[in-house]
Chains A and B, each alone.
Chain A
């Protein structure tokens, strides 16, 4: 006879069978039965007590991005669950597979505005891939299985499971369901049709000025090898989105780097001049296209994308292929022909050289520049770190000055641009990433959004190096004010605590760096320490990120850093 198990125990039984190693969460009344049952499972599953439920979701997300496995976050009903909303939306925008388990008031109380009742399936409907309210214990195990399956397959995303307290307390004879998951309305696509392959090849082999746009889908599909083959075999330059960084090594001669608002000027120009765009697992976000009316006007477009609703959403394409990217590239690559494109590569080289001359690293500055600091972090980690960034100037500078040669070594909030992501996401990543150093690059604004997770980092002895790029401002917003609001710096100067003392208070080593020559020695100290370390970099306040495509402007219409041969540098 099968054993009797409570709903709470079934939750842990199911998590174990999904291969879950770690759960990030915070207890409270409505999830208490499940926490109580954890005492029977905590030799098999690690639970990390966070300091805020937003942190739990970012940790689950950070873990998922680093490992490719589903991250799990847990919270109580009402405020515990609503605190997760930002993290869920962040995971949704970046197609990150997480499962959030929330307690709910008892089934009989639902709808009556009971204490700490919030309609979580309602609240998270537009920001989850799918969500569930489990009203009967018989459905619990199958629901959890489905949730994990949905989270990790197709275009991954967050799934929320809301479990009323009485369902956690009920018990049944538990038999783990083993029949295949049957979701009649859920069909992740697999491969391209022969006609689609032929149509794509026709365009690729004919193109004179093609560009590959590599997005997050390359990494999610694990199609790095196939992408590289397409680029090398077809002799086609590649540019990546923010989340596509790592799809092709940064040092690969065909990799032009990141496109878009703060991308390189040369990939942006290349996109505008191209006669073919091959979009691979990306979604033509406004931050990479600029003005859609003038976007890449001369090109035919191929879009390979696992989510059909992204095809023709923003940019009308000539060949849309709704399928798994890696599979499609394996179908296409064998018939891709090598075409001489030296004229095209020559043009790109010219654009690149012009950009290199304007590079801020060419300048002397009396103050430490954020770009220099980040370049040094790259140097001090041999470019091999797992980097987690936050959102703002420091994030864009990371993309420009930390060159990633390996996939899955950058974790950053792209689609949502969620300030506060980096510290918890790095803690989450630290439960998977053991073979690389983890470096957090975070602004003075962002760190203060989730700074309470320093306690979690210390408690878990998470091996992370936290670099606070302190420019005294909400720098990215200040940059917009400078450029578009006549330098009225309204509410962007931001006060910071003494971070070294703060580190001391949280009981982790803390350092302050103001000179470029002190960076590497300080990094050494951090590298020698096992556990979290905080380094504050005091940097130039008024530097900007260039190039910049103003929101809604044409992609080729970038604000450039003044050219040193003609103009003075514009930093004070």
Chain B
């Protein structure tokens, strides 16, 4: 299973670069990264998906993220009950003959047609990443011209999780 992390980060210039650079430098692979404003002004929320399978390595990724000065909190929600969503825009070849067939598929996936051209359609599908994969598979025979995916976003179900790491521990002074 892929690792899913939710990070709260300070909304400052360069923070996305810092996070991305950390993954590069530590040789961890980012599958997807989605970022946007959170409910708190000045704080952005990231959902990061990695392909790391091993538990110890996952903890190291989390600890490295948490160590960053601009990262306020990190939760590994891989094993938690979450709402997971991704949106894809898929441009498909469709003329007057095939348009109806494509629309049937879109219906099945509760997607929407958001643009109609003479030879193309843009389909919008939202759901768990598996659903998107499946929609892409089914649309492939119609010839897919472009795909744009947002990357996964995640939110734990139920009550807001308390901040986990370190925040309860008081600063120590490093002097000797």
A interface list, Cβ under 8 A from B: 68-69, 97, 121-122, 125-126, 129-130, 133, 150, 152-156, 183-191, 219-222, 306-309, 311-313, 316, 322-324, 327, 407-408
- Beyond A130-B69, A190-B169, whether A185 also contacts B63 by CB under 8 A is no
Check A190–B172 contact: CB distance below 8 A: yes
Complex interface: chain B residues within 8 A of A125 (CB): 17-18, 21
Q: Does B173 interact with chain A (Cβ within 8 Å)? A: yes
Our pick among A185, A219, A308 for the contact of B69 (Cβ within 8 Å) is A185
Whole-angstrom distance between the Cβ of B38 and the nearest chain A Cβ: 12
Complex interface: chain B residues within 8 A of A133 (CB): 13-14
Q: Does B90 interact with chain A (Cβ within 8 Å)? A: no
Whole-angstrom distance between the Cβ of A62 and the nearest chain B Cβ: 15
Complex interface: chain B residues within 8 A of A189 (CB): 166, 169, 172
Our pick among B9, B172, B173, B176 for the contact of A185 (Cβ within 8 Å) is B9
- Beyond A68-B175, A190-B171, whether A312 also contacts B56 by CB under 8 A is yes
Complex interface: chain B residues within 8 A of A69 (CB): 175
- Beyond A125-B18, A185-B10, whether A323 also contacts B176 by CB under 8 A is no
Chain B residue at minimum C-beta to C-beta distance from A125:
B21
Whole-angstrom distance between the Cβ of B41 and the nearest chain A Cβ: 12
Whole-angstrom distance between the Cβ of B171 and the nearest chain A Cβ: 5
Our pick among A129, A183, A187 for the contact of B166 (Cβ within 8 Å) is A187
Our pick among B18, B25, B172 for the contact of A188 (Cβ within 8 Å) is B172
Complex interface: chain A residues within 8 A of B174 (CB): 97, 152-156, 188, 220-221
Whole-angstrom distance between the Cβ of B55 and the nearest chain A Cβ: 9
Q: Identify which of B63, B69, B73, B165 gathers the most chain A CB atoms within 10 Å of its CB.
A: B69
**Chain B contacts with A in 80-138, Cβ cutoff 8 A:** none
Complex interface: chain B residues within 8 A of A154 (CB): 171-172, 174
CA distance A130 to B69 in the complex (A): 7
**Chain B contacts with A in 127-176, Cβ cutoff 8 A:** 165-167, 169-176
CA distance A333 to B70 in the complex (A): 35
Q: Interface majority SS on A: helix, strand, loop or mixed? A: loop
- Beyond A154-B172, A309-B64, whether A183 also contacts B59 by CB under 8 A is no
- Beyond A184-B72, A189-B166, whether A312 also contacts B59 by CB under 8 A is yes
Q: Does B30 interact with chain A (Cβ within 8 Å)? A: no
Complex interface: chain A residues within 8 A of B18 (CB): 125
Q: How many A-B residue pairs have CB under 8 A?
A: 89
Check A308–B67 contact: CB distance below 8 A: yes
B interface list, Cβ under 8 A from A: 9-10, 13-14, 17-18, 21, 25, 56, 59-60, 63-64, 66-73, 165-167, 169-176
Complex interface: chain B residues within 8 A of A150 (CB): 69
Check A190–B69 contact: CB distance below 8 A: no
Complex interface: chain B residues within 8 A of A130 (CB): 69
A and B contact pairs by CB, cutoff 8 A, 14 listed: A69-B175, A125-B21, A184-B10, A184-B72, A185-B9, A185-B69, A185-B71, A185-B73, A187-B169, A190-B172, A220-B174, A307-B63, A311-B63, A312-B56
Chain A residue at minimum C-beta to C-beta distance from B173:
A153
Complex interface: chain B residues within 8 A of A191 (CB): 169
Other A-B pairs, 15, CB within 8 Å; known A125-B21, A184-B72, A185-B9: A152-B173, A184-B10, A185-B70, A185-B71, A189-B172, A190-B172, A219-B176, A220-B176, A306-B172, A307-B63, A308-B63, A309-B60, A309-B64, A309-B67, A408-B176
- Beyond A125-B17, A126-B21, A220-B176, whether A190 also contacts B170 by CB under 8 A is yes
Complex interface: chain B residues within 8 A of A129 (CB): 69
Complex interface: chain B residues within 8 A of A313 (CB): 60
Whole-angstrom distance between the Cβ of A135 and the nearest chain B Cβ: 8
Complex interface: chain A residues within 8 A of B169 (CB): 187-191, 323
Our pick among A121, A153, A221 for the contact of B176 (Cβ within 8 Å) is A221
Check B67–A312 contact: CB distance below 8 A: no
CA distance A220 to B60 in the complex (A): 23
CA distance A130 to B12 in the complex (A): 14
Whole-angstrom distance between the Cβ of B10 and the nearest chain A Cβ: 6
Complex interface: chain B residues within 8 A of A408 (CB): 176
Whole-angstrom distance between the Cβ of A65 and the nearest chain B Cβ: 10
Whole-angstrom distance between the Cβ of B98 and the nearest chain A Cβ: 47
Whole-angstrom distance between the Cβ of B168 and the nearest chain A Cβ: 9
Whole-angstrom distance between the Cβ of B52 and the nearest chain A Cβ: 13
Complex interface: chain A residues within 8 A of B176 (CB): 68, 219-222, 407-408
CA distance A10 to B92 in the complex (A): 60
CA distance A323 to B171 in the complex (A): 10
Complex interface: chain B residues within 8 A of A311 (CB): 63
Check A185–B68 contact: CB distance below 8 A: yes
- Beyond A189-B166, A219-B176, whether A307 also contacts B171 by CB under 8 A is no
Complex interface: chain B residues within 8 A of A68 (CB): 175-176
Complex interface: chain A residues within 8 A of B66 (CB): 308-309
Chain A residue at minimum C-beta to C-beta distance from B171:
A188
Q: Identify which of B25, B56, B70, B174 gathers the most chain A CB atoms within 10 Å of its CB.
A: B174
Whole-angstrom distance between the Cβ of B57 and the nearest chain A Cβ: 9
Nearest 7 interchain pairs by C-beta: A309-B63, A222-B176, A308-B63, A187-B166, A68-B176, A324-B172, A185-B72
CA distance A317 to B72 in the complex (A): 27
Chain B residue at minimum C-beta to C-beta distance from A69:
B175
Our pick among B14, B167, B172 for the contact of A327 (Cβ within 8 Å) is B172
Whole-angstrom distance between the Cβ of A311 and the nearest chain B Cβ: 7
Chain B residue at minimum C-beta to C-beta distance from A181:
B171
Chain A residue at minimum C-beta to C-beta distance from B10:
A185
CA distance A316 to B57 in the complex (A): 11
CA distance A126 to B171 in the complex (A): 24
CA distance A311 to B64 in the complex (A): 11
CA distance A327 to B17 in the complex (A): 35
Whole-angstrom distance between the Cβ of B45 and the nearest chain A Cβ: 13
